[in-house]
Structure 1
Amino acid sequence: MFTGIIEEIGKVKMIQRGDITKIAIECDKVLNGTRIGDSIAVNGVCLTVTNVGKNLFTADLMRETLKSSNLGNLKIGSMVNLERALSISGRLNGHIVTGHVDTVGTIVNKNRIMNSNVFKIKIDERYSKYVVSKGSIAVDGISLTVVEALASYFTVSVIPHTELNTTLNFKRIGDSVNIEVDILSKYAEKLLLKKGMKELVLENGF
């Protein structure tokens, strides 16, 4: 479980591709107290730490992870957002983030308004139903508030502090971002569907 509050930006130091891709990420803050087997969100993807070294950790990436996220686009030197799993005594400053990416979006526009950058992000319309104005969404693991939500895209307003302390500072139009919708919306949908099916059965006497 994560909060979407990025602790630091890491740098990819090694990628060893194969049936299981091995990756090493240079970092500092997230190594504090981290042990083998712990979880770290990398661009919003929950990865298991396989080794901890001096100023870096390693993790394994399965083919499904590479296919369903933007981690497959990483190269040596790529910058990534990092967050350790939420401790039981920690504050939930962002929102509930599972580290399980739903889809990959594409930045189609950046527009500076006042002191913030508004990012317009295109997503698969299958997931737009989970995105609502003023709701929460994780973009490359960053907890953000949705400004506008339409059928094929949504916008988020990013303050300078967030942009400078995450990889959004390096993102350009056309770049991909991992998207995790609010888990609460998916739970609500499932409950409503079950309730609707139950009522349908009672009404029709099945």
Structure 2
Amino acid sequence: MFTGIIESLARVHSIETHGTNKTFWIGSAISHELKIDQSISHNGACLTVEEVQNDRHRVTAIHETLEKTNLGAWQPGHLVNLERCMIMNGRLDGHIVQGHVDTTATCISRKDLDGSWEFRFEFPKKFSHLVIEKGSISLNGIGLTIFNVKRSKFDIAIIPYTFEHTNIQTITTGSLVNLEFDLIGKYVANAQGYPGKKK
């Protein structure tokens, strides 16, 4: 379980393909502190640490993860947001994030407002019942508040600290990002019989 508060930026060093899986070596300021079998959020996708070597760690994404996230598009040099699991005796500074990516979204605009930034994203319409004005969302693992919600589109506003310390700085028009919708909202929608729910 995560909070959406990014702990460190990381960089993809190398990628290997094994069947339908991809193995990534990731370098970061916290990699040397990680332990084998630890769950770490990488751009919002929960992956298991398989090996640690100094300032790098190794993780593998299986076919299911590659299909539902932007991990399949990663290349060496790609910047990645990292967050370790939350500690239950601490403050929940963001919102509840499972690390289970629901879908991807595409950036359709980016505005520099001379001190802050606004981005607009478009996502599959079948998830539109899970977004609300001023609601929470995990975008590449970053816990954010959305606004200007219009069916399958929403905006986010980014402060300088978040821009400088996450890979939101690399997002431009056409970029693909990972989305995880609010967990409580998903349970409520399921209980109320959201559109498309299997009966």
State TM-score, norm by structure 2.
Answer: 0.93
User: How far is 1:6 from its partner?
Assistant: 0.4
3-state SS in 2 of match to 1:127 = helix
Structure 1 residue 22 corresponds to structure 2 residue 13: no
> Structure 1 counterpart of 2:96, which letter?
I
Q: Which residue of 1 aligns with 2:161?
A: 161
3-state SS in 1 of match to 2:190 = helix
User: How far is 1:26 from its partner?
Assistant: 0.3
Q: Which residue of 2 aligns with 1:105?
A: 105
Q: Are the equivalent residues in 2 in contact too, given 1:108–1:122 (CA < 8 A)? A: yes
> Structure 2 counterpart of 1:55, which letter?
D
Q: Which residue of 2 aligns with 1:125?
A: 125
Q: Are the equivalent residues in 2 in contact too, given 1:8–1:30 (CA < 8 A)? A: no
Mapped to 1, the partners of 2:132 and 2:159 lie a distance apart of: 20
Q: Are the equivalent residues in 2 in contact too, given 1:40–1:82 (CA < 8 A)? A: yes
The 5 A counterparts of 1:142-161 are: 142-161=142-161
Q: Are the equivalent residues in 1 in contact too, given 2:137–2:143 (CA < 8 A)? A: yes
Mapped to 2, the partners of 1:37 and 1:189 lie a distance apart of: 33
Q: Are the equivalent residues in 2 in contact too, given 1:30–1:83 (CA < 8 A)? A: no
Q: Which residue of 1 aligns with 2:197?
A: none
User: How far is 1:21 from its partner?
Assistant: 1.6
Higher helix share: 1
Between the two proteins, the alignment pairs up a number of residues equal to 193
Gaps (5+ residues) in structure 1? 195-206
3-state SS in 2 of match to 1:155 = strand
Identity of aligned residues (%): 36
Q: Which residue of 2 aligns with 1:62?
A: 62
User: How far is 1:115 from its partner?
Assistant: 2.4
Mapped to 1, the partners of 2:182 and 2:57 lie a distance apart of: 28
User: How far is 1:114 from its partner?
Assistant: 5.5
3-state SS in 1 of match to 2:2 = coil
3-state SS in 1 of match to 2:26 = strand
3-state SS in 1 of match to 2:18 = coil
Q: Which residue of 2 aligns with 1:172?
A: 172
User: How far is 1:184 from its partner?
Assistant: 0.7
Gaps (5+ residues) in structure 2? 195-199
> Structure 2 counterpart of 1:136, which letter?
S
Q: Are the equivalent residues in 2 in contact too, given 1:99–1:141 (CA < 8 A)? A: yes
Mapped to 2, the partners of 1:31 and 1:84 lie a distance apart of: 13
Q: Which residue of 2 aligns with 1:50?
A: 50
Moved more, 110-119 or 19-28: 110-119
User: How far is 1:62 from its partner?
Assistant: 0.2
3-state SS in 1 of match to 2:184 = helix
Deviation sequence 1:150-204 (CA, Å, 0-9, x none): 112110111111011100111111100001110111111122239xxxxxxxxxx
Q: Which residue of 1 aligns with 2:193?
A: 193
Q: Which residue of 2 aligns with 1:200?
A: none
